[in-house]
Chains A and B, each alone.
Chain A
């Protein structure tokens, strides 16, 4: 058993945008990763500890590229970071060329599978598909889509449109705002005029916060009916914290993690985050994914007995973690994670009450290969593939 002072240091990169248009998410991710690094240092099973090299690209794609290059140049092999798909795609060629490993701790739109990335966040079958299934069955089939103008919303809205149309629904309108734009009143006006069954938002960062605030106010003012929910795969506790309590409630989110999950591992995670960073600090899906990413990396290095990328990659798929959200492990077929989809509805205190939850972790399907779009509406979407994909969500309240 190694004492902390005897432990070998393994340098890793933490690349989180703690400033810029999605800084609140970046700060949460950094908190999650640093907490996991402390856990690794304290854990007597590990003969090493992590020495983090923390960089802040500030949401600037050029900085992501330059900082990744600098990290890899300095001999670092493993980096936990990136939030937007644009940033991941910007740095991916560097990781492939230098054979580094990016531990990507965010949900994303799928349609990628690099050997130089471990995808710790949710795949599209683990977030957007359960969300659409729920909305079609409970709310309606006419969607208004609004998103930030980049690849994640473009692709999310394509999936939304194709699934709805395959089930007799439609997208009444699709709008995009520049990343960071808070000019959302025009969107509220259009929603009011078009009267969709629900609004699907893939706005991120400050845009997402501004839209939640404006939407909540429009509902409070009865300009938009309360029966027209705002649905999202991106809304998190960090964003809810940033808006007034009067506009927080009633928004639906699909995510593999909510702060309110009642597992002992999550109670410990939330407690530790608040002890370490203050009671105001909240946990979110991206913070948990960053926490998981560091712990999976530690388990893989422990198993491989080296931080060599090839050996760590091979070992990682044999690791299993009891994460705050529940069991998590990496699918050797595609390097994405088995995760547990959930649906939550926000409340005034800035938490999510869980509406529905998958019974067990669901196999990642980054290319939606095993999805039958026409069956999403009948709730049987995941049941036709035997062992490949796990059963559909069950209603728990």
Chain B
């Protein structure tokens, strides 16, 4: 009896203990994120002092009233029009992908699920390649529109395919439909790229996932969707926790699972679609960050989602910095850098955590 009581009390302290750390943890991570942002902005073709970076961001609204020498004015301009938008887009993309991945993993109860699983990346890539093939040379913001539409259409298709037949949309069916549609669409994408060398040349950097050349003109139209997705994710995090325990449990607790699943799917489409529109198909963040978040915050999605959000933002910012500096003056697509820095960590995690 005593051992049983002891284990209960230990459990209690562990839960309380972990809760105790979670809230300050959010602040610490936010601090790290801000530091990463400043660090990222200081680095570039010309390095800029952190103080200047800080001033430039604070003063962005009253540039006209400032007395600045030409060099500082130039630096302010570089920060405001090039570097800050890029960092901002990186953070938003990282957050969106990480949260979308966390929701997908909770919903499908599959630790390998990520935002790509609903056929979203494949749909976006197909739409963009088709756009290049048909239209010739669209601008980066045209890419964004096509990617978003492609992502949305393929997600709806996967949902429809996954819910036909007897019994409706089960996690397994959705996963299966996503895998199938991904393979199907990518085969068409490749068929185009093999036969059209020009399209391949234009598109190959985009398909690796990159933040190069992104500015406010892409960010402004896409960001509202992502913002709605992020807020929505925070709002339904409690329901996701319940669903992640299994459909039966969730139903037993009085939850309308079909409704929650529908809302969650829409949120995933907004987030992952927005991310792919902004930066192209970036893998790995959506897969790995939720695991890291779960490692720190336990099984409660009310904590997993904010943690995933912050860690996703930090990871993508850091990966983007590395992507810019490893082979200066060229840059590596951030999606690839992501995999290179994330994988060793993930291997360590898998070795630590998977016991059986």
Partners in one complex: no
Q: CB within 8 Å of A: which residues of B? A: none
